[in-house]
Amino acid sequence: MKFPPFGYLRPTGLPEACEMLAEEGARPLGGGQSLLPLMALRLARPRTLVDLGALEELVGTSRSVSAGEEVLEIGAMTTLSAVEHDRTACSAVPLLSRIVRFIGHPAIRHRGTLGGSIAHADPAAELPAACIALDASASIASRRGSRSERVEALVTGPYQTSLREDELVTGLCFPIRPGRRTGVWEVAPRPGDFALAGAICVVYPEHSGPAGAAVTFFGVQAKPSRVTLDVEGAAGEGGGRYFQDLADSLEGVLEDGHADDRFRRRLAAVAARRAFAAARGCPPEVGA
């Protein structure tokens, strides 16, 4: 369980980091809470690690206006603990601090980063799903320039993203939507474990954005998926049946020793229903 040998670089600025990542076999190192265990198990053997730990510009939260919409920006190297306790983030997008508490234990959250979690794209991870549920976009940089991509498009499969070899996530941008309500529910073997199935529900206010509600599943399929809800059906008498039908319509449900197809669909249905109830029971976001 020792790390295989690798080259190590520690850039002090983003342009330098991009230069380093342009080299063959280089891989960015965020908090290391996902990558380092894989390396210890020798399931990952990067030739060079580019440690982003000294890039202060990738740490922190701020609010700004982007394309006419108020947004919360979070640097990719902001740790999960920092997100959990950040006042700006808590008030602008309250779901973030709530969902971060499902991830591992405090010691993992002290090191794990937001950008790392998105780039790792574990199908059972909470944050990629949260980004998708919240319509977040990732800012991406490389020597060739910078771009932005919706996280929904960025995550392409299990541990797969559309990121090129030389690219890194520099930050996440979350639209602030006053009136929105969110809920999350997950089933994990023990608190802090990866979810057997989880769901994030977003209920939109009627007067802004896409109407209605949507649920984003994680730990259910090869990547998080967002499904629009029929609020009346979901909230009605047969809500349980509605969510089970919804879960039964999902394709490519994962099977493993913790849950087979049938059980995972059931857990997904329960998680979605409970997340929906939590969202409806939670006060609308004020965005301030």
- Summarize as ranges the residues that interact with another protein (CB under 8 A): 1-8, 10, 29, 32-33, 36-37, 40-42, 49, 51, 53, 81, 104-108, 110-111, 187, 189-194, 196, 240-241, 244, 257-260, 262-263, 266-267, 270
The answer to whether 172 and 83 are in contact (CB under 8 A) is no
Q: Which two tokens stand for residue 103?
A: 């991830």
Cβ proximity to another protein, 147 vs 241, nearer residue: 241
d(CA 281, CA 71) in angstroms, rounded, equals 24
Cβ proximity to another protein, 2 vs 87, nearer residue: 2
C-beta of 171: minimal distance to another protein in Å?
Answer: 21
Q: Is 208 helix (H, G, I), strand (E, B) or coil?
A: coil
For tokens 């949260």, what's the residue?
Answer: 130
Cβ proximity to another protein, 22 vs 277, nearer residue: 277
The answer to whether 152 and 190 are in contact (CB under 8 A) is no
The gap from C-alpha 203 to its chain's centroid, in whole angstroms, comes to 18
C-beta of 257: minimal distance to another protein in Å?
Answer: 4
Q: E strand or H helix at 29, and its extent?
A: strand 26-29
C-beta of 108: minimal distance to another protein in Å?
Answer: 7
C-beta of 175: minimal distance to another protein in Å?
Answer: 31
Cβ proximity to another protein, 144 vs 262, nearer residue: 262
Cβ proximity to another protein, 75 vs 112, nearer residue: 112
- What values do phi and psi take at 131, rounded to 5? -60, -40
C-beta of 168: minimal distance to another protein in Å?
Answer: 17
Among 167, 92, 174, 101, CA closest to 137: 174
C-beta of 270: minimal distance to another protein in Å?
Answer: 4
d(CA 241, CA 4) in angstroms, rounded, equals 50
Neighbour count for residue 42 (Cβ, 10 Å): 11
Q: Which two tokens stand for residue 21?
A: 């990542």
Any residues with CB less than 8 A from the CB of 141 and at least 6 apart, and which?
14, 18, 167, 168, 170
C-beta of 29: minimal distance to another protein in Å?
Answer: 8
Cβ proximity to another protein, 111 vs 150, nearer residue: 111
Cβ proximity to another protein, 3 vs 205, nearer residue: 3
